[in-house]
Amino acid sequence: MDKLFVIKIGGNVIDNEQNLSTFLSAFAAIPHRKILIHGGGKIATKIGDQLGVASNYVNGRRITDDATIDIVTMVYGGLVNKKIIAQLQSKGCNAIGLTGADANLIPAVKRPVKEVDFGWVGDVNTANIPVDTCRLFLDNGILPVFAPLTHDSQGHILNTNADTIASSIAIALSAAYDVRLVYCFEKKGVLEDVENEDSVIRLITKDKYQQLLSENKLFAGILPKIDNAFAAIDAGVKEVLIGDAADLVQNTTAQTLGTLITN
């Protein structure tokens, strides 16, 4: 099968114009099929403040009320996404900016209200992602760039976690491609010692993960990312890579600098 890289970039890179430009140059240079999923950064919060719409978070997750969904749709699907597309075109990378509503690419459901009502927040319906439509772009040299927005098939846009979108797309396309899911963040990889950037664990299998957990060697904040990675692998994704955005090109080769997670 052909190789496909599904790459997620977080808001910390989007908030820094120089870091974003450097990252997009690296992304454009990857000589394989690829998909980019970007987070929102702090721009929606800034514009919301300018418009008098305060941001509201519970446990680090944005509450998306009627006013907020309008702002994140404008910012994520418009301003941030189209600036990324324009930069990629300037780097010779023929990209197309998308939300989950475009071509029905990422169907989702509004998150049910339990302890917290998150408002217009979506949970992806991975099984209904149209693989053939995604392949139309990829097999014709057009590189999809997804904003962190989905839709509920009832006419509503839903604010959706970019990590989840990346994982769902990787899982859906793993039937058609040899997929490596790449999560870019601000550290070199999963660290054995969170204070030491040189303590990157190069390879984590399920056995290795259990060993690291039993020895209490992992920073608590990284555990959801690793759990998410193994969930993707169990659903068909071949490999997941967690690493530094600055090491992107190297992390799409066999000689990775970050942490490779496999079965």
Average model confidence (pLDDT) across the chain: 94
- Confirm if 141 and 130 have CB atoms less than 8 A apart: no
Asked if pLDDT for residue 241 goes beyond 90, the answer is yes
235 has a pLDDT exceeding 90: yes
Least Cα distance to 229 among 254, 259, 199, 249 occurs for 259
Binding-site residue positions: 40-41, 62, 159
pLDDT band at residue 159 using 50, 70 and 90 as cut-offs: very high
The DSSP-derived string for 170-205 is HHHHTTTSEEEEEEEESSSSSBSSTT-TT-B--EE-
Across the beta sheet with 203-204, what order do the strands follow?
A: 95-98, 143-146, 33-38, 3-9, 178-185, 239-244, 259-261, 203-204
Banded model confidence at residue 193, pLDDT cuts 50, 70, 90:
confident
Sequence-ordered list of residues with C-beta below 8 angstroms from that of 232, at least 6 positions apart, any chain: 167, 170, 171, 181, 240
* DSSP symbol at 161: -
What pLDDT does residue 80 have?
A: 96
Q: Among residues 14, 21, 86, 85, which one has the least CA distance to residue 43?
A: 14
d(CA 111, CA 113) in angstroms, rounded, equals 6
Q: Summarize the confidence of residues 204-216 as an average pLDDT.
A: 91
Q: Coil, strand or helix: which one is 95?
A: strand
List binding-site positions for substrate: 40-41, 62, 159
Q: pTM for the complete prediction?
A: 0.95
CA–CA dist 56, 147 (Å, integer):
21
What distances in angstroms separate CA 112 from CA 72, 81, 130, 240, one per listed residue? 20, 28, 24, 29
Instruction: Please tell me which residue, 113 or 11, carries the higher pLDDT value.
Output: 113
The pLDDT value recorded for residue 263 is: 87
Distance CA 174, CA 164 (A): 15
User: Measured between alpha carbons, how far is 242 from 26 in angstroms, rounded to an integer?
Assistant: 16
Cα–Cα distance, 93 to 125 (Å, whole number): 29
Helix (H, G, I), strand (E, B) or coil at 136: helix
Backbone dihedral region of 126: left (phi > 0), alpha (psi from -120 to 50 degrees) or beta? alpha
Question: pLDDT per residue over 57-106, tens digit each?
Answer: 888 788 999 999 999 999 999 999 999 999 999 999 999 999 999 999 99
Question: What distance in Å separates the CA atoms of residue 45 and residue 190, rounded to the nearest whole number?
Answer: 29
CA distance to 23, 63, 115, 152, 177, per residue, from 156 (Å): 32, 16, 22, 6, 31
- Average pLDDT on 218-232 reads 87
Enumerate residues 6+ apart whose C-beta is below 8 A from 89.
95
pLDDT of residue 49: 92
Domain of 109, CATH number, reads: 3.40.1160.10
The domain total for the chain is: 1
The residue segments making up the domain with residue 152 are: 3-261
Who contacts 145 (Cβ-Cβ below 8 Å, separation ≥6)? 35, 36, 37, 38, 81, 84, 85, 88, 95, 96, 97, 98
